[in-house]
Amino acid sequence: MDVMAARMSILPLPPEQAGGPGSRAASRPMALSALLHMAALVPLLAAIALIGPQALAALPPVLLACACLAYGRLAAFFSGKRGAGEASWMAECLPFAAYACLQGTSLDVGSCLVLLASTAAMAAGLVSLEGLLFPRYRGFALALGYCAVLAGLALSLAWTITADSSDPGRQLAIPAIAGTSGLLLAFITRYAATRRRR
Amino acid sequence: MMRCAPSRKAAVAAACALAFAAALPIPLVPAGTGTAGTVLRLSGGSFEPYRFAHARLECEAGIRGHVDAVGTDWNGGERLLYEARYDAWTMAIDLVFYVDEGLKGIEIEADTGSGRQGLNIDLATLALAKAVPDEAELDRRASLRDLPLPFSSPKQARLPAAFRLDASGLSDAASQIAASCFCLDPQTGVLAVLAIFIMSASTLAAMWRRMPPRASLVLTLGLSLLATAAVAVVIPREPRIIIAELPRPKGEGPLPISGDYALDPAVPDGSPVVRYSTSDPGGLSFLAVSTPGKEGIPLSVLEGREGSLVFSSPPSVVARSGSLELHFERWTTGWMSWQHE
């Protein structure tokens, strides 16, 4: 079965088609793989550079980070990666998220990085949850659903932080709680997935 | 960027109400808390709108710790006016904050020897205790109130060494100056870091594809964290204030304003102040401020000429390591007016 057809029909995939060592991606020449990877990351950098600081400043840093991570999730979908491959793609988007956040916000670097880490932890928790709930399924709807849930979490986090801007403690305490919850979710779902495999 | 002050009608109405109320015999008693001898007392300070007010805060029990002053606007909004931290005991400290016509009251709080103390100042009541402003003062306030504050639109470009201004009025002049010299340096360093990261990540992803996914993830995450740290270090976060003096008007009314501007060579490289001077300055300067981080602009930059100032978003004064800094919103425009000696 063709890989794209399998994605669209949300059917379970054999492991060799799931981006693993024996997959079609692994048989590509190394230079072509590197070029394709580069071609996926360059548009993200170009978009952030072209949007400019003024437009970026209009959005909360958490939402900017979420947008970059969602881009990574979609790139993982189009390159046929699941699980650790998804997380790798999203991790690669972190420096771009930092660039977008620091360019727009007037927050100090430390606070900005805390927000970024919280969003990344929430995204990691969601990836693990997705891996637990849909271990062998893939599809564009699943990727979009993931992005929508992450955006919803980021929006609610941004709203909670700015709801009472007079309290500076909220700026760090709430993202820290959200990030810790994301990490806990990641660990619990990984543990549950391991137990289920046994 | 929205201006925080209330509408002009509200400000004029408030000024008229103050003028009428000036005849009423209301005593001035700033509200303080605490027992006798431990209350905060404020002395000095002219509290004239569109200037920085310097006042002295005293407490016999001593002050040490966090001190802040929060202003309440006529429209009910609150804004930080002054913030400082004192690590040693002192009986008196000097407060500096920016006052404009939108400010209705000030609430000062300080950590003292007898706990956290507060002091409320009603600027309207304070104004009543003083003489009614004369015609010149009212003219000064009206002219500052009417100055146009354009929507600032910084672009990523190098600062021009010179530019020509041909404006039909003050509003046009402000827009032209902002468009010409309100620039943020191109972020070549960050772009270079990210370009190197893209090449490294792509090469390594191609090399690591035969590795176990978990090991590949750990290596990718490490590389990404390294690149994120490099972005945070390299990205420019220094504040910048651009000051361009307008040429002297040739007559009355909204006449065309034109002149050649050149970057002032006296300002050293790396300074947050960028000055553009013209051959015949007329006592009015346009300001554009960019503060991408938590660092502020030294207060001395704007207080040097003891002029009047108006901002699209009022700044707060923060005392940090012995010096006073002005903290603005991300991008702010303003005007500075002063009389020639």
- Model pLDDT, residue B24: 38
Reference B95, options B144, B62, B30, B46; nearest CA is B46
**A54/B206 Cβ within 8 A:** no
- Model pLDDT, residue B259: 81
pLDDT in tens, A44-55: 999 998 888 878
How far is it, in rounded angstroms, from Cα B172 to Cα B314? 22
- Model pLDDT, residue B240: 87
Q: Please indicate if any CB of chain B lies within 8 Å of the CB of A124.
A: no
Q: Please indicate if any CB of chain A lies within 8 Å of the CB of B195.
A: yes
- Model pLDDT, residue A135: 80
Reference A27, options B210, B211, B201; nearest CA is B210
CB nearest A41 (choices: B78, B202, B294): B202
How far is it, in rounded angstroms, from Cα A137 to Cα A10? 6
**B293/A109 Cβ within 8 A:** yes
Which positions 275-314 of B are in contact with A (Cβ < 8 Å)? 291-294
B25: CB partners within 8 A, 6+ apart: none
- Which residues in A74-87 are b (16+ Cβ under 10 Å) and which e? bbbbebbbbbbbbb
SS (H, E, C) B41-64: EEECCCCCCCEEEEEEEEEEEEEE
Q: How confident is the model at residue A5 (pLDDT cuts 50, 70, 90)?
A: very low
**A98/B216 Cβ within 8 A:** no
Residue B48, token pair as written in the block: 């004239």
**B206/A53 Cβ within 8 A:** no
Residue pair B156/B131 in contact (Cβ under 8 Å)? The answer is: no
**B329/A96 Cβ within 8 A:** no
Residue B150, token pair as written in the block: 């354009």
How far is it, in rounded angstroms, from Cα B141 to Cα A2? 74
Q: Collect all residues of chain B within an 8 Å Cβ-Cβ radius of residue A30.
A: 206-207
- For residue A174, pLDDT beyond 80: yes
Reference B70, options B83, B57, B59, B55; nearest CA is B83
Burial class (CB in 10 A: 0-12, 13-18, 19+), B251: exposed
Higher-confidence residue of A17 and A99: namely A99
Q: Collect all residues of chain B within an 8 Å Cβ-Cβ radius of residue A98.
A: 228, 231-232
**A45/B194 Cβ within 8 A:** yes
CA distance B158 to chain A (A): 15
Q: Please indicate if any CB of chain B lies within 8 Å of the CB of A167.
A: no
H helices, E strands: number in chain A: 8, 0
CA distance B86 to chain A (A): 19
Q: Which residue has the tokens 């949007």?
A: A51
Q: Please indicate if any CB of chain A lies within 8 Å of the CB of B237.
A: yes
Q: Which stretches of chain B are DSSP H helices?
A: 8-21, 123-128, 135-145, 170-181, 188-207, 213-234, 299-303
Q: Which residue of B has its CA nearest to A105?
A: B292
Count of Cβ atoms closer than 10 Å to residue B240 Cβ: 21
- Segment B254-257 long-range contacts (CB within 8 Å, at least 24 positions apart): B254/B168, B254/B169, B254/B170, B255/B169, B256/B166, B256/B167, B256/B168, B256/B169, B257/B165, B257/B167, B257/B168, B257/B169, B257/B170, B257/B172, B257/B173
Q: Collect all residues of chain B within an 8 Å Cβ-Cβ radius of residue A83.
A: 213
Higher-confidence residue of B330 and A77: namely A77
How far is it, in rounded angstroms, from Cα B203 to Cα A33? 8
* List of chain B residues with pLDDT < 50: 1-6, 16, 18-36, 341
Residue pair A149/A182 in contact (Cβ under 8 Å)? The answer is: no
What ipTM was assigned to the predicted interfaces of this complex?
A: 0.82
How far is it, in rounded angstroms, from Cα B288 to Cα A65? 29
Identify any residues that bridge with A134 across adjacent strands, giving them in sequence order. Answer: none
Q: Which residue of A has its CA nearest to B210?
A: A21
Which amino acid appears at position A49 of this protein? Answer: A
**B213/A83 Cβ within 8 A:** yes
**B224/A106 Cβ within 8 A:** no
Which positions 101-120 of A are in contact with B (Cβ < 8 Å)? 102-103, 105-109, 112-113, 116
**A103/B209 Cβ within 8 A:** no
Identify any residues that bridge with B332 across adjacent strands, giving them in sequence order. Answer: B289
Q: Collect all residues of chain A within an 8 Å Cβ-Cβ radius of residue B220.
A: 88, 91-92
How far is it, in rounded angstroms, from Cα A33 to Cα A51? 28
Reference B210, options A136, A137, A28; nearest CA is A28
How far is it, in rounded angstroms, from Cα B286 to Cα B247? 11
pLDDT in tens, A115-150: 999 999 999 999 999 888 888 777 889 999 999 999
B194: CB partners within 8 A, 6+ apart: A45, A95, A96, A99, B227, B231
CB nearest A113 (choices: B209, B232, B291): B232
Residue A163, token pair as written in the block: 């709801």
Reference B94, options B106, B84, B107; nearest CA is B84
**B199/A38 Cβ within 8 A:** yes
Q: Please indicate if any CB of chain B lies within 8 Å of the CB of A54.
A: yes
How far is it, in rounded angstroms, from Cα B2 to Cα A176? 31
Which positions 153-172 of B are in contact with A (Cβ < 8 Å)? 153-156
Reference B76, options B10, B158, B144; nearest CA is B10
> How does DSSP classify residue B293?
S
- CA-CA distances (angstroms) from residue B340 to B53, B261, B275? 21, 20, 18
**A38/B198 Cβ within 8 A:** yes
Identify any residues that bridge with A156 across adjacent strands, giving them in sequence order. Answer: none
Q: Collect all residues of chain A within an 8 Å Cβ-Cβ radius of residue B198.
A: 38, 41-42, 45
